[in-house]
C-alpha cells in the first residue's frame, strides 16, 4: 500500500491544477484543440486524487479550517452553495451554448429539411435511417419524433445523417 505523503500528494495536486486550469481556460475561450477536452475530463480524476491525498497528508491543518477559521468556512460554504446551484436547470428559453442550439435545431427539423444537409434525397435518408434501426414514417418526421427522450437513438440518427453511407 502506498503511504500518503506530502512528497507526492502536493506535486500531484499542483500538476493536476495546472492541467485543469489551462485546459479549462482553453475550453472556455473555445481555443481547445486535439485532446484538450478529453484530457480535461479524464485527468480531472488526477485532480480529485491529488486533492484527496493532499487533504489526507495535511489532515490536522485541513481540520483547523473547519473548526477555527470563519473566513475558511464562508469560502467553503459559498463554494458548496455555487456547486449546488449549478445543478438547477435553466428556465425554458434559457441561454444555451451554440452547439446545443444547433443540435436542438437539427433534432426538431423535419427530415425533408435535413436530407439536403446529408447530401441525399429524403427517401434515401429515410431508407438509411431504417437500415440503422431508426424507423422514420415520413418526410415530415423529426429526429425528436423518431426517438422521443432517447438520446442514444437520436445520436444514432445524427450519425446516419452526417456519417458515411
Q: How far is CA 106 from CA 5, 31, 59, 144, in A?
A: 52, 25, 51, 9
Reported as a single tens digit per residue, the pLDDT across 96-145 is 677 778 888 888 888 888 888 888 888 888 888 888 888 888 888 888 88
The residue extents of the domains of the chain are 6-85, 98-162
The residue-averaged pLDDT of 58-85 equals: 86
Radius of gyration of the chain (CA): 24
Mean pLDDT of the residues in the chain: 86
Torsion of CA 119, 123, 125, 128, to 10 degrees: -130
> pTM for the full model?
0.50
Reported as a single tens digit per residue, the pLDDT across 23-58 is 999 998 888 888 999 999 999 999 999 999 999 988
| pLDDT tier for residue 157 given thresholds of 50, 70 and 90 | confident
Amino acid at each position: 500500500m502506498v503511504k500518503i505523503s506530502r512528497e507526492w500528494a502536493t506535486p500531484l495536486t499542483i500538476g493536476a491544477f495546472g492541467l485543469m486550469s489551462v485546459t479549462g481556460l482553453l475550453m472556455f475561450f473555445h481555443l481547445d484543440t486535439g485532446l484538450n477536452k478529453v484530457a480535461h475530463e479524464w485527468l480531472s480524476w488526477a485532480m480529485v486524487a491529488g486533492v484527496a491525498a493532499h487533504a489526507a497528508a495535511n489532515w490536522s491543518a485541513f481540520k483547523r479550517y473547519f473548526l477555527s477559521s470563519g473566513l475558511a468556512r464562508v469560502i467553503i460554504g459559498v463554494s458548496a452553495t455555487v456547486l449546488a446551484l449549478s445543478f438547477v436547470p435553466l428556465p425554458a428559453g434559457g441561454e444555451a451554448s451554440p452547439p446545443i442550439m444547433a443540435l436542438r435545431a437539427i433534432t426538431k427539423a423535419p427530415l425533408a429539411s435535413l436530407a439536403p444537409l446529408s447530401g441525399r434525397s429524403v427517401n434515401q435518408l429515410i431508407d438509411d435511417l431504417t437500415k440503422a434501426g431508426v424507423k422514420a414514417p415520413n418526410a415530415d418526421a423529426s429526429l425528436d419524433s423518431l426517438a422521443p427522450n432517447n438520446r442514444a437513438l437520436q445520436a444514432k440518427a445524427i450519425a446516419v445523417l452526417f456519417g458515411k453511407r
